[in-house]
Amino acid sequence: METLSENRCFGGTQGVYRHAATSTACDMTFGLFLPEEAREGPVPILWYLSGLTCTHENAMTKAGAQQWAAEQGIALCFPDTSPRGEDVADDKAFDLGKGAGFYVNATQDPWAPHFRMWDYVADELPALLTSEFAIDPDRQSITGHSMGGHGALTLAMSLPGRYRSVSAFSPICNPTGGDWGRAQFTAYLGDDETAWRAHDASVLMAEKGFDGPVLTDTGTADNFLDLLRPETLAEAAAKRRQPITFRMQPGYDHSYFFVSSFMEEHVAFHAEALYA
């Protein structure tokens, strides 16, 4: 693992690191904020999964999360959204290929050799962090924005016992039923739509739910609202009688101005579960 940068930040350290990942068969870069408490021993961690076109850097610099994580004594990890490198397949569309991994393990060519973001986020990166940094593997929570909100919700509901809480900003809630999902799942996972269901938050909510607190925020002025389909998640949670805090925030859009406006509340929401 290579240290690219480390900066003092709210009493802790904001680092950027690169390592050779076996799951994605390429070098991967991630950001990690460690609060001051990490000097004394392992701290809980909140994973932040970013959205389409993003790298590890977007949320790290725009979400304003470090201040609130420092107050709560929580580490923050900002993984990349896809594999990178000259030999990694790509597409001219912004919502397929590099920057658009959708947190799945691709089974179709040309994506299958590298696009294994599920394995990377669920297994390889957590193992690296707990071995190299003062991270408590028994106290994890997860959040994300847009495509990353989709990833956070699907990982949380598919890995029972892993995360104590899950939240999402503007999540893609029903990719099997919308344009942000069907084309990408066909490319990554093939034509068999039964394979897509494991990566649809609304389907998973109906079938599995989540054994813990759930929070979602979406702006009523989000210009991608028809692609996000938040109503499908609300309906699935209601039918399952799943406890969930589902909020539509008046006038907010899809940007990081929206994310940063509610980041304090999301970090506090996770801190309550992580320190329970």
Q: Provide the annotated active-site residues.
A: 146, 222, 254
β-strand partners of 116: 105
Please give the torsion angle defined by the CA atoms of residues 252, 256, 259 and 263, in that order, rounded to the nearest 10 degrees.
Answer: -140
The DSSP secondary-structure symbol of 120 reads I
Cα–Cα separations (whole angstroms), residue 139 to 73, 135, 184, 221, 267: 12, 8, 32, 34, 14
- Return the exposure string of 82-119: e unless at least 16 CB atoms fall within 10 Å of the residue's CB, then b: bbbeeebbbeeeebbbbbbbbbbbbeeeebeebbbbbe
d(CA 267, CA 59): 14
Amino acid at 39: R
Q: Return the exposure string of 175-214: e unless at least 16 CB atoms fall within 10 Å of the residue's CB, then b.
A: bbebebbeebbebbbeeeeeebebbbbbbbbbeebbebbb
